[in-house]
Amino acid sequence: MSLLFHNRSFLPGIILTTVFAAAALISLAWVPYDTTILNIAEKLKTPSLAHPLGTDQFGRDILSMIMVGARTSIAVALVAVGIGMIAGVPLGLAAAARKGGLLDEVIMRMNDLVFAFPSLLIAVMITAVFGASALNAIIAIGIFNIPVFARLTRGAALTLWSREYILAARVAGKGQARISIEHILPNVANLLIVQGTIQFSLGILAEAGLSYVGLGAQPPTASWGRMLADSQTMISFAPHLALFPGLAILLTVLGLNLLGDGLRDLLDPKLRRART
Amino acid sequence: MTLLKIDRLSLTIHGTPILKDVSLNVDPGRILGVIGESGSGKSITAFSVLQLLPNGTECTGSIRLSGTDILTCSEPKLCGIRGRDVGMVFQEPMTALNPLQTIGAQVAETILVHENVSKAEATKRAAEALQRAELPQEKFPLSRYPHELSGGQRQRVVIAMAIALKPKLLIADEPTTALDVTTQAQILDLLKRLVAEDNMGLMLISHDLAVVADLADDLVIMQQGDVVESGPAQALFGAMQHPYSRALLEASSHVPDRVGEKHETSLLQVRNVVRDYQQHVHGWWGATTHFRAVNNVSFEIQRGESLGLVGESGCGKSTLTRAILGLEEVQGGEILFDGQPVYTHHHANKDVRRRMQVVFQDPYGSFNPRWRVEKLVSEPFHLLQTPLRGQEREDAVVEALESVGLGAKDRHKYIHEFSGGQRQRIAIARALIIKPDLIILDEAVSALDVSVRAQVLDLLADLGDRFNLTYLFISHDLSVVRSITDRVLVMKSGEIVEDGPTDAVFDHPSHDYTKQLVAAAPVLPVGAV
Amino acid sequence: KSDIVVAMQLEPPHLDPTSAAAGAIDSVLYSNVFEGLTRFGPDGSVNPGLAESWSISEDGKTYTFRLHEGVKFHDGSDLTAEDVKFSLDRARGEDSANAQKALFAGIESVEAIDPTTVKVTLKEPNGSLLFNLAWGDAVIVAPESIADIKSTPIGTGAFKFSNWVQGDRIDLEKNADYWGTPAKLDNVTFKFISDPTAAFAAVMAEDVNAFVGFPAPENLPQFEADPRFQVLVGSTEGETILSTNNKQPPLDNPKVRKAIAHAIDRQAIIDGAMFGYGTPIGTHFAPHNPDYVDLTGLSMYDPELSKELLAEAGFADGFSTTLKLPPPSYARRGGEIIASQLRAVGIETEISNLEWAQWLEQVFKGKDFGLTIVSHTEPMDIGIYARPDYYFNYDSPAFKELFEKLTVENDPEKRSELLKEAQKMISEDYVNGYLFQLAFPTVANAKIKGLWKNQPTQATDLTAVYWED
Amino acid sequence: MLRYFLKRLLSLALSLVAASVVIFLVLEVVPGDPAAYMLGLNAQEDTLNALREQLGLNGTILERYLSWAGGLLTGDFGVSYTYRTPVAEMIGDRLWVSLPLALYALTLSTLIAFPAGIWAASRRGSFVDTGVMGATQLGVAIPNFWFAMLMVLVFAINLRWFSAGGFAGWDAGFLAGMKSLTLPAIALALPQASILTRVMRSSLLDTLSEDFIRTARAKGLTRAQAMWRHALRNALIPVLTIMGLQFSFLLAGAIIIENVFYLPGLGRLVFQAISARDLIVVESVVMLLVFAVIVVNFAVDLAYALVDPRLRRRR
Ligand SMILES: Nc1ncnc2c1ncn2[C@@H]1O[C@H](COP(=O)(O)OP(=O)(O)OP(=O)(O)O)[C@@H](O)[C@H]1O
Ligand SMILES: Nc1ncnc2c1ncn2[C@@H]1O[C@H](COP(=O)(O)OP(=O)(O)OP(=O)(O)O)[C@@H](O)[C@H]1O
Ligand SMILES: [Mg+2]
Ligand SMILES: [Mg+2]
């Protein structure tokens, strides 16, 4: 346990992540001000006791907006990572189990193809087809997570397939699917968790980018990217409008990356062995 | 005058004591053998001579090289000593060379670093050094890259690099551990010759008593950072004082007691087996090439027999194992277990599969690190039609663990909580749990220290007698094979070249290859203890 | 200093004003490069252009235009009546791709009487022909230039087209052989900066000398306070309205539409979305027009009344509908405010932000919407209410009848009366929510003189612009 | 080697065909009519039809795909619906902004990342290492459009060292052109440099713990010599991979940055084209980008062979 707190990345990472996750959760039940109600008379107030982070161009409370925005960002990124894992991990496991086979080749070529597409453009195209919404942002980000997880899983699984304990399992008569689930999956889980946090943070950045160009969650749902987009023309006279959502993105992504680094260190048996 | 004099060297890494009052001497033209089990501090001692130590290391005592105190030398001065006065050869030839540079460049670099000579001159001298290390220019031009050489050849490059400047002292840290016996013999000969030619001092580190015994003039025996015994080799082998040294020597030449009653019924028949590997060179639509790993192999194992299989690395031993276990389909011939084929309709025949088990070489890699011992050991139950459940299963696990000398409570632990020897016992327990007739041991003791190896061999002999097991024992170590098998097969490049009763084959080899193998195998001096 | 860099938001897709609706084409070329028989003045009046004078027959069906002498196209060829005939015939032809083909629908024939006289015959008398001919879509082009007109526009204006770096800028240079008052500037560069932040930065960093149609009203006070700049806030023909689908229940109920009208706080929208720039309107008519009637009183902000009306209409618990918003910030911001105001009286709106192409497809063509916000920038376009197939689905026989009368009426007095009546009719029917007249802000270096303040048509007429020393 | 090369080329061609089909089909289902977009609110049905005919929008899907794909093969990218100029020409013009920008950013990020990564790796665990790694964490986490906004605020509006955006054009001279690309290139390069620094550092650390480094040290090389002569080239392999990925990302990922700085580049072109439903432009640009990604990765593979003799022979 004390290891957790001695890790230089883990602690700040978990703190930042928890803060924003908590903000998102609390916003489900309570926010200081309703963000769907506009109060033009109160617009562009600088931070004060009543509004700790000030108000935006429509007089909405920025703290409340950031809390709701955290929910949007986290939900979108989390589901997108989920899609990537749910589709990518089995593909990677299957490809590794049939290394060199047709299945492997097809899966890997498909992955290459997805990788070859400029992601933001595809997101723009997807939203051009289906309209801009949080759901479509999820799909657009999720699609690009699939090959990431497929590749990672395949790579890690391949090294595991040459381990003797896999051979032992085969000697025990287990099939490829069973071995993949019983032996490979648990042993790539750490890697997946670490990559998951990294993809999560990339997802948050991607969501911010998409809603910045207007393709993410639609109003009145607050989202950090749109807050930035809406406030950027006011940056010269109301910098707090752009400052706080920008910081929120920065800190969340930073927190997740630190958490990922910390987890990598903590979960890496090589390092753990070295420490104990 | 003494070339290298280490006096009361103590060393800590981040406060952990590693070496305690180590003292040893190397004289010019003489070979000092340093022996000890894994982790006893042999490599650290060697590295401390070059001062290439991990961060956080603190040394006390003194290391004098031709009178110079190494411990007080500045870093630039040390750089001048390394490679010029002291050459070093490492254990792992596959990774000791920079894969991106030609061997010529790497050997020449030693010269360029220390002497102000032209590139052409350095290259010329590199060629000479390689020549001396028995890599003639005609066959191995300087422009070769490491990956174009075999392990033994790479080790020669490393040696050429170490001797290019004719250093006064050569340190060889387990230079042959990763190599085949025949190659090992050649490399050791080479080292001996070079020492004699240049009047170098050689510090030869090994965990294998027999290797050192052949070569060394003086011996140092280390245990957990301590020198427990030292002196001239001849004398020492005759009269070892320290219990640890004696135990080491004993374990090295250990022969387990076996009753070995063998039935005259054939358990496994291998007939004209051929195994081809199809290699996709570049992915799925790349060119495919075929590689014949096992070529027309036939033999039988009798019930209750212990059959050895020896041969160089890559000769196809493991491939054959996998074919017998029905893990891979063979391209020709048949394998019958008790009259039944092990492989039918592109699938392993489960009826016979559950009567065979296997123990692998790597005690660290053959267990899923995330499972508890109980689950690991009971994995072969999967082969049974009605796997045992609940209490019955637990009892079976306990029984298997106890039969290999472990306790019932060990079943709740994870694998990282065991030592190498214990792990190999668990592997054996896993093999035993479904009470197979045949156990295949693929290099099952190669990764173990001598003393642990002796214990495991005893255990195997004991179990074989108790449960009337049949063994197929695969190893490259002739002395081990000799100690535990009744009959032996010699394999070379996928073919069986000789077979017969173990003693007969080893005492009177008939095939040239077997002769080579036997001659190359290092042996302990007769009369030792 | 005789060079100027003028920025605007939209880049023309190509340079033929007679075959696309893109206002950006006119913004660059109208009057500068291309001219029509008549032209709009800065105040929206219709003045002589290439036609020096004209006469109208008694029955109002025949117009005879007299062209200026010695007008040359930029390629050196002379402007003749044949060119005029060609241009008008091309615009109204079968395969014409003119976006405002309707402007020419009433023309029966065009004849070139002699090199400087053109006779235009109408099917019916049309009081707005001269007005129609002043549009950018009615400029005169030379037949031999048509092939390349989309990349090399050849007109008769005071500036010649010189270079187009697509995605970045268009350069014009002074036409030394101009037939009229020569331009005061030698070189003009139009730069296209669509992003509002970039626009602000570009002006602030003085990368551009003027920005016409500055897209971020929130920044205007800063420019006003800065002595380096002048800010001209002009009016446009853009009635910004909350368009309502008059056939979609419950919006087909006039009471519901009235409730919506009273739920909306125009001033809050102008303050919130436009930072105060914009004139409230109560009907579909430009307030600067002399015939404008202030009908904002019909739809005063009164949420209580709105709730009552909803209850009367049977929607005491409110209802929900869609609010589809095109890209401009007046729509996006206004949309958020309106959604919040409607929510206050119990009407839930589901906002979707659409690109223009999607908006055209779904809303304008597909009529698949409840509410939308858009600015109708065409001048004098109240006639759209007489088109039952127009996207807001307003089908009123009374209005159609009224408008038919208006079309054939030539008497200014009577026209004015009819126009006022038309304004009242749509306002009282609460066809759409009438929000505000779009303001047209231009930010320019304080030393630039002669810029148009208002936008009677989409044009950036630089012929009279100069730098003050 | 040649055989291998040809096979790779074949698989490359197959990928491109697959990509072209995907792109075409996706855009096929994009709602919105380019003709309607061009003609605006007052357009009449017959005008629309006339325009659609002119644009070649009235054929069947297959006909249109074949004419487009066939055109691509012969270098004829078609004619833009809205601009009415050949797409190839437009792309060519925009490429003169996007490509230099990508190269500039790549150069910047390399110039930052290599020294920083090497520095941090050689002082592992030190204050320097912690500092560099902390900075890269920030660099990765900053949304680059936000960073661009802040840079404009500081360097263009307040300090007025750079123009706030726009592209001076190469006619205005090389330096002027580079100056207008500087802020965008920095904004693009920052996250890339951070990633590259991290990769460089960890790859170097991995290589530094390899046996052959120990061999080199035993030969008498100093720590620095071992690093420069032996570790660096070996560490370069994963770095090359990342750089390959980054280059394509830079080409495409510049969309937002090009908008912030209103640069007339490919990204902004395709963004505008999508909203104008100028599908032929979108198709061709996306295809070009995919092509660039695939080709760059191919080139990176070949670069491996240059760096690594082991790959040279295996092929
Ligand atoms: N970098 C290091 N950091 C900390 N401890 C180390 C390090 N390297 C070696 N040790 C410890 O020093 C001790 C001696 O190690 P050394 O490598 O000298 O053993 P050895 O006798 O060479 O063993 P082997 O035969 O396995 O090579 C071991 O207990 C090992 O754990
Ligand atoms: N999956 C495979 N695909 C292709 N070739 C293989 C494969 N597995 C083994 N080989 C090749 O077959 C030959 C025999 O390999 P095998 O593992 O049986 O050797 P071995 O005698 O067990 O050697 P060692 O003592 O090193 O374990 C080797 O040359 C090896 O390279
Ligand atoms: Mg060692
Ligand atoms: Mg083997």
How far, in whole angstroms, is CA C127 from its chain's centroid? Answer: 20
In this structure, which residue's CA is closest to atom 1 in ligand 1? Answer: B54
pTM across the whole model = 0.83
pLDDT at A256 over 50: yes
| Residues C298 and C427: beta-carbon distance below 8 Å | yes
**Mean pLDDT of all residues in C401-407:** 87
pLDDT tier at B318 (50, 70, 90 boundaries)? confident
How many CB contacts within 8 angstroms connect chain A with chain C? 71
Helix (H) or strand (E) holding D253: helix D232-260
Task: Identify the top-confidence range among A23-27, B150-154, B350-354, B361-365.
Answer: A23-27
pLDDT at A19: 93
Q: What is the pLDDT of residues B93-123, one digit of tens each?
A: 878 888 888 899 999 999 998 988 899 999 9
pLDDT at B283: 47
CB-CB under 8 Å, D219 with B109? yes
> Which of D143, D144, D135 has the alpha carbon at shortest distance from D117?
D135
The CA distances from residue C221 to A56, B10, B211, C40, in Å, are: 17, 78, 90, 30
Mean pLDDT computed over every residue of chain C = 89
**Mean pLDDT of all residues in C414-431:** 91
Q: Is the peptide bond before C115 cis (omega within 30 degrees of 0)?
A: no
End-to-end alpha-carbon separation of chain C, Å?
8
**Chain D: closest CA distance from residue B478 (Å):** 30
CB-CB under 8 Å, B96 with D212? yes
Q: What is the pLDDT of residues B161-206, one digit of tens each?
A: 988 888 989 999 888 877 788 888 888 888 888 888 888 999 999 8
Helix (H) or strand (E) holding A136: helix A134-161
Q: What is the pLDDT of residues C151-199, one digit of tens each?
A: 889 999 999 999 988 778 899 999 988 988 899 999 999 998 887 888 8
Q: Is the peptide bond before A239 cis (omega within 30 degrees of 0)?
A: no
CA dist., res. D233 & res. D157, Å (int): 43
CA dist., res. B335 & res. B54, Å (int): 52
Q: What is the pLDDT of residues C112-122, one digit of tens each?
A: 988 889 999 99
Q: What is the pLDDT of residues B13-24, one digit of tens each?
A: 888 888 989 999
CB-CB under 8 Å, A183 with B360? no
Residues of C in contact with D51 (CB under 8 A): 97
- Best mutation target, A171, A192, A273, to test chain B (most B CBs within 10 A): A171
Tokens of D124: 């592992």
> Which residues lie across from B488 on neighbouring strands?
B308, B500
Looking only at the bridges linking them, the beta strands covering B68-69 and B356-359 are unpaired
Residues of A in contact with D252 (CB under 8 A): 118-121
CB-CB under 8 Å, B109 with D229? yes
**Mean pLDDT of all residues in B361-372:** 84
Q: Is the Cβ of D157 closer than 8 Å to some Cβ of chain A?
A: yes
**Chain A: closest CA distance from residue D295 (Å):** 10
| Residues C35 and C52: beta-carbon distance below 8 Å | no
pLDDT tier at A68 (50, 70, 90 boundaries)? very high
Please return the burial class of D22, using the count of CB atoms within 10 Å of its CB with bins 0-12, 13-18 and 19+: middle
pLDDT at D257: 85
CA dist., res. B425 & res. B359, Å (int): 9
Residues of A in contact with D31 (CB under 8 A): 129
E strands along B445-522, which residues? 470-474, 487-492, 495-501
Q: What is the largest CA-CA distance in chain C?
A: 71
Within 8 A by CB and 6+ apart from B329, the residues are B343, B346
Cβ-nearest to C165 among D46, D264, D268: D264
pLDDT at A273 over 50: no
Decide if the complex's ipTM is over 0.90. no
Q: Collapsing DSSP states into helix, strand and coil, what is residue D104?
A: helix
Please state, for a pLDDT cut of 90, what percent of chain D lies above it: 9
Pocket test for ligand 1, best of B38, B44, B208 (most atoms within 8 A of CB): B44
Helix (H) or strand (E) holding B356: strand B356-359
pLDDT at A268: 66
Looking only at the bridges linking them, the beta strands covering C38-40 and C46-48 are antiparallel
pLDDT at B260: 63
Compute how many other C-beta atoms are within 10 angstroms of the C-beta atom of residue D203: 23
Within 8 A by CB and 6+ apart from B138, the residues are none
For residue A211, the chain C residue with the least C-alpha distance is: C353
Please return the burial class of A91, using the count of CB atoms within 10 Å of its CB with bins 0-12, 13-18 and 19+: buried
Q: Which of residues 183-242 of D touch B (CB under 8 A)?
A: 210-212, 214-222, 225, 229-230, 233-234
**Chain A: closest CA distance from residue B325 (Å):** 7
Please return the burial class of C48, using the count of CB atoms within 10 Å of its CB with bins 0-12, 13-18 and 19+: middle
Chains touching D by CB (3 or more pairs below 8 Å) = A, B, C
Compute how many other C-beta atoms are within 10 angstroms of the C-beta atom of residue B378: 23
Between helices D174-208 and D232-260, what is the axis angle to 10°?
A: 140
pLDDT at A1: 44
pLDDT at C244 over 60: yes
Compute how many other C-beta atoms are within 10 angstroms of the C-beta atom of residue B138: 6
Please return the burial class of A267, using the count of CB atoms within 10 Å of its CB with bins 0-12, 13-18 and 19+: middle
Please return the burial class of C52, using the count of CB atoms within 10 Å of its CB with bins 0-12, 13-18 and 19+: middle
Residue A55, sorted as left (phi over 0), alpha (psi -120 to 50) or beta, turns out to be: beta
Please state, for a pLDDT cut of 70, what percent of chain C lies above it: 99
Q: What angle do CA C97, C100, C106 make, to 5 degrees?
A: 105
Give, as one character, the DSSP assignment of residue D157: I
Please return the burial class of A132, using the count of CB atoms within 10 Å of its CB with bins 0-12, 13-18 and 19+: buried
**Mean pLDDT of all residues in B357-372:** 85
In this structure, which amino acid lies at residue D286?
V
> Which of C59, C56, C38 has the alpha carbon at shortest distance from C48?
C38
pLDDT at D28: 75
End-to-end alpha-carbon separation of chain D, Å?
5
The CA distances from residue B62 to B23, B31, B70, in Å, are: 9, 21, 8
Q: What is the pLDDT of residues D20-72, one digit of tens each?
A: 888 888 777 766 677 777 666 666 677 777 777 777 777 777 888 888 888 88
Residues of C in contact with A233 (CB under 8 A): 196-197, 200, 216, 218-219
pLDDT at B100: 86
Q: What angle do CA C131, C133, C136 make, to 5 degrees?
A: 105
pLDDT at C333 over 70: yes
> Which residues lie across from B498 on neighbouring strands?
B490
End-to-end alpha-carbon separation of chain B, Å?
33
Least confident stretch, B428-437, C56-65, D112-121, D153-162? D153-162
pLDDT at A271 over 50: no
| Residues C30 and C17: beta-carbon distance below 8 Å | yes
pLDDT at C398: 92
E strands along B27-168, which residues? 31-36, 57-65, 68-69, 86-89
Please indicate whether chains D and A are in contact, defined as at least 3 beta carbon pairs under 8 Å: yes
Ligand 2 neighbours (beta carbon < 6 A) = B 277, 279, 291, 293, 311, 313-319, 476
**Mean pLDDT of all residues in C32-45:** 89
